[in-house]
Amino acid sequence: MTTKLLARDIGLEPGFTFRIQKCPLTHDYYVHSHDFSELVVILSGSAVHIIEGREYPVTAGQVFLIHSGVSHGYKNVEDIEYVNVMFQPEELLQQPELRLLPGFQALFYIEPFYRQEMYFRGMLSLDAGQLLEATRLLDLILSEHERREDGYRLMVRTYFTALVGMLSRYYQNSSRGEDNKALRIGEAVTYIEEHFLQPVTLQSMADMAYMSTRQFLRVFTRNYKTTPMDYVIRKRLDYSCTLLRNPDLPVSRVAMDSGFHDQNYYARQFRKSFNCTPTEYRERISGSGERG
């Protein structure tokens, strides 16, 4: 039976689910899962990593994500040392700039769920120089988290974001020219992030990922917990919320500028997501009671 570790049981702070620790390991580590994500960076040594019943050899420089609910453990341990960062993606991976990096989408969202199909070929492996740079940032995060001086949460978030951005860049650059399915899908998702106001179809997204529409729909939905077109609609709705803050912009114009060419369809989708009409939303945020 797999043991499940819960954030509250290991002392992770409510509202700031984060812990970092350097882990020297000289023996096998039992298979377990957890209700948070882990970013693991192997510093030295080697082992066999067991993920969802599949076995993968790991050595120094390798980086991987273990998301909530995924079982994993280690065996055949040879004096391995790794840094384990425990966090909640919804708290620390929501910066818009990160979502524009294909390497971020691939490394943090797609590869972890596409791992068995790629048989770990999509995992990030750092060279000696890259590992040194990653270790430098990890040490800064460790120091801030251990000392807990005023503003430490801000510093941890800042250094962690820098680490995520750097690893995303390394992943993207290391996979150029390779048949990396995770990165191809990541590039399609990044295209959505940058062009969601333009006409986007499931076929065009699948073509960018060099996949059939059926396969792209399956992989995307599994990784992002929503369909590609619902993802696009949500991006447009969120963008429309920023436009609704301008009281001089008619709702019909907001709909058009947000990528909706049918105002009635826009209103239906808005109510479905926010449980109110665009006009009611505008009144709520303005507090003026004036209809837009």
> pTM of the entire structure?
0.83
From CA 213, how far away is CA 285, in angstroms rounded?
39
Specify if 206 maps to a domain. no
Specify if 123 maps to a domain. yes
Task: Show the domain range for 139.
Answer: 3-174
Q: Is the pLDDT of residue 167 over 90?
A: yes
Q: Is the pLDDT of residue 289 over 70?
A: no
Specify if 47 maps to a domain. yes
Q: Do 147 and 248 have their domain in common? A: no
Q: Do 39 and 159 have their domain in common? A: yes
- pLDDT tens sequence across 183-213: 888 999 999 999 999 999 999 999 999 899 9
Percent of the chain at pLDDT above 90?
64
* Average pLDDT over the chain, rounded to an integer: 89
Q: Is the pLDDT of residue 116 over 80?
A: no
Q: Do 112 and 239 have their domain in common? A: no
Percent of the chain at pLDDT above 70?
89
Q: Is the pLDDT of residue 228 over 90?
A: yes
Quote the number of domains for the chain.
Answer: 2
Specify if 72 maps to a domain. yes
CATH code assigned at 153: 2.60.120.280
Query: What does the block give as tokens for 33?
Result: 């899962």
Helix ranges restricted to H, the chain: 89-92, 96-99, 102-104, 111-118, 128-147, 152-174, 181-195, 202-208, 213-224, 228-243, 251-257, 263-274, 278-286
Torsion of Cα atoms, 235 then 237 then 239 then 243, to 10°: 170
CATH code assigned at 267: 1.10.10.60
Looking up tokens 């030295």 gives 44
Specify if 201 maps to a domain. no
Tell me how many degrees the CA angle 80-84-87 measures, rounded to the nearest 5. Answer: 165
